[in-house]
Structure 1
């Protein structure tokens, strides 16, 4: 029945025409919404530095199509989502950078083989999350402590937390050889697998990142004191977790790793000097940033994984979402996979080193790490028999 036939139709035809008019109205609203979505995303692309090369008709259509589809996917994931009471938001767009919102930014800082892969898996399971995995990977196997290198590292984190990929060409190029830079971000990697050239372009990465209301980042290369300026920036609104592990467990986990041949990675004294400095910094940060900084031991999370994870998510202002609960249920019951797997028996994984580490090595580590161990609340083994049976995790207190 055509719209023109509604005019002057009596009785039943009139009721049918009313229904038809309602349908046309709904279709108009849907088309208007999609057009508005396209316009918003096109504007993001055009405003991204260096985007002109993409703005030809064919590529523009493909790019906008991907972005619109991802926007719809996020909205679907977020249906019925319970925003944290302290966020003071009522609508998703209040958190979407591409729509002028302020995203929830969560940062995890630690060192290699200290539980960050597991914690990163937890936060990246949260719906609507863009996960910045090891954004300082291109700096190499080193700890960044001071100087221009430190300043550049912090600038890079700022750029990424603001979805500004225009200054991140070095990391993007690095990602050609090290896929882990991108493949831990599920939403992004789903595009990278099919359109790798597009995903190496800042003019795509920036607007894509800007669709996500939750921005999570984890790094194992930056010392804790360097994060102070991130915490001080009220506009950035970062909430930062420092994750620490017993250095005996950390070093045991790093053993026989070909990439871990440098002093910054395999030397107990270097590691424990960093842990002492980080303890001092953490004590200061706890007083200075009581609402946006937290220091937690990996062992404490693992021994009571559901309760502790829920507490940390509350700190990050994230919901203990069914997707996260599913991740915990499937990843903490038993160990499987290689050394980089996040499938672990959560109660056994943190302390399995005491069953495997030779007593002579434990002695050497304790000899140079006693101060760090005591500050972070870890107990010392008194002999080989004691090493195999004692509980190495004691009580943590801050100065």
Structure 2
């Protein structure tokens, strides 16, 4: 028996080393694709001006996206699944430093036995895929198969996730199923566990919202998408501190805000066409009253109340040290915290590049450093044009 165990451990170690080498080879071969995609992305250098169409858009969002008011939509939890081949799925669609870890963990704990696909496109590097090309097609294909729990053809992605321990931290449901035999490296087994889950929750970064149309239009998927938007000035400031944004689609204010503006226009169309499948959430408005904001989200998803785990996450008994990638933060305080530790010169430049999406989200544009530092001035305004 001892010999069998030693033999198994030896084979598992060899498999792990081979898997790690495959990941490294894949990342090396993909680097030129990432760089090429970055060079291909071209954006105009003009400073956007607020227009009448943007004002109309803001009013549309205010009336239809439930940014400020709780939804009155009836719960849909008990509807029949449209497919026996995939669990019910919820995607949180967003970008870096948008408050997605906080809201993502709250959503992932809505029901027990949730399969959490944390940043499934992490293997594509630090970039936003905005243009339709080979790389974008690969990302969409993988997401589509992931939602159906069809992972047999994606050994590299499964190995990548296991190697970087994403599932160990974010997907306890899977980890309980695959320990101690190391079956997390087996795509067929991971697919099986995914299919058995009560819900499949995923947090999607690195992809413009327009590419979500293909998922929403698949009538066989029982899917809802929540798009999370945050003040781009705050996101950019946070990314700059973390020093991981080496690509212009992550760190350049003009490109970031051009893509945010595009996403918001796409969001307005999705709200009209798929009101039961798509929802827009603004981080700042959600965080003012996180419990009520979460209740509103749960009602949209068809859950009449919050789980005990969600309540514990909303009201932790103890606060540990600050973790840039964790949950232990006071969200209401985080809304304005960036205004205390960000250089106003960089904020001024971001505001010029981000005027349109700032207006569309109803966010204040600061006229001076004194105004910027004055936290008694609320970040959120009803209409920036009338302020």
Asked if the contact 2:167/2:174 (under 8 Å) is kept, the reply is no
Q: Is 1:335–1:345's contact at 8 Å kept on the other side of the alignment?
A: no
SS in 2 for 1:143: coil
What CA distance in whole angstroms lies between the structure 1 residues aligned with 2:86 and 2:196? Answer: 11
Correspondent of 2:326 among 331, 341, 344: 341
Give, in whole Å, the separation in 1 of the partners of 2:177 and 2:135.
Answer: 31
Residues 157 and 102 (structure 1 numbering): CA distance in 2 closer, same or farther, change over 3 Å? closer
Cα gap change, 1:338/1:292 in structure 2, threshold over 3 Å: closer, same or farther? same
Instruction: Output the CA distance in 1 between the equivalents of 2:383 and 2:145.
Output: 35
**CA-to-partner distance for each residue in 1:325-382, whole Å, 9 max, x for gaps?**
2221118x85733211211112111221111111111111111111121112111011
Q: Do the aligned residues in 2 keep the contact of 1:110 with 1:116 (CA within 8 Å)?
A: yes
The correspondence of residues 61-100 of structure 1 with structure 2, limited to 5 A, is: 86-88=76-78, 100=84
The residue that corresponds to 1:120 in the other structure is: 104
Q: Secondary structure at the match of 1:377?
A: coil
Which structure would you say has the larger RCO, counting Cα contacts within 8 Å and 6 or more residues apart?
2
Flag structure 1 segments of 5+ consecutive residues without an equivalent: 1-83
In structure 1, how many angstroms separate the alpha carbons of the residues matched to 2:244 and 2:167? 16
Q: 1:323 matched to which residue of 2? A: 309
Matched residue of 2:236: which SS?
helix
**Hey, what's the Cα distance between the residues in 2 that align with 1:142 and 1:247?**
16
| Cα distance in 2 between the residues matched to 1:296 and 1:271 | 18
Alignment partners' CA distance in 1, 2:359 and 2:82:
43
Flag the 1:161–1:102 CA change in 2: closer, same or farther, 3 A: closer
* Bigger Cα displacement from structure 2, 123-132 vs 245-254: 123-132
Whole-Å separation in 2 of the counterparts to 1:219 and 1:182: 18
Distance (whole Å) between structure 2 residues aligned to residue 195 and residue 396 of structure 1 = 57
Q: CA RMSD of the aligned region, Å?
A: 2.3
Query: Are 1:391 and 2:378 an aligned pair?
Result: yes
Aligned to 2:247: 262
CA contact (8 A) 1:125 1:327 kept: no
In structure 2, C-alpha distance between the alignment counterparts of 1:130 and 1:137, rounded to whole Å: 17
CA distance in 2, matches of 1:350, 1:244: 13
Q: What's the counterpart of residue 197 of structure 2?
A: 212
Instruction: For 1:96 and 1:281, locate their aligned partners in 2 and report how far apart those are by CA, in whole Å.
Output: 25
Alignment-derived partner of residue 184 in structure 1: 170
State whether residues 109 and 243 of structure 1, in contact with CA within 8 Å, keep that contact through their aligned partners in structure 2: yes
Q: Check whether the contact 2:210–2:263 (CA below 8 A) recurs between aligned residues.
A: yes
TM-aligned CA distance change 1:337 to 1:195, over 3 Å = farther
**Partners of 1:130 and 1:216 within 8 A in 2:** yes
| Contact kept? 2:295, 2:306, Cα under 8 Å | yes
Shift of 1:107: 0.7
Over alpha carbons, which structure has the higher Rg? 1
Residue 157 of structure 1 corresponds to 143
Q: CA deviation at 1:205?
A: 0.5
Q: Output one character per residue of 1:238-284: Cα deviation in whole Å (capped at 9) or x when no partner.
A: 11110000011101111232422221211111110011101111111
* SS of residue matched to 1:166: coil
Q: Which residue in 2 is equivalent to 1:375?
A: 360
Tell me whether 1:273 sits opposite 2:273 in the alignment: no
Q: 1:140 to 1:192 in 2, by over 3 A?
A: farther
Q: How many residue pairs are counted as aligned between the two chains?
A: 306
Match of 1:24 in 2: none
**What is the deviation of 1:320?**
1.8
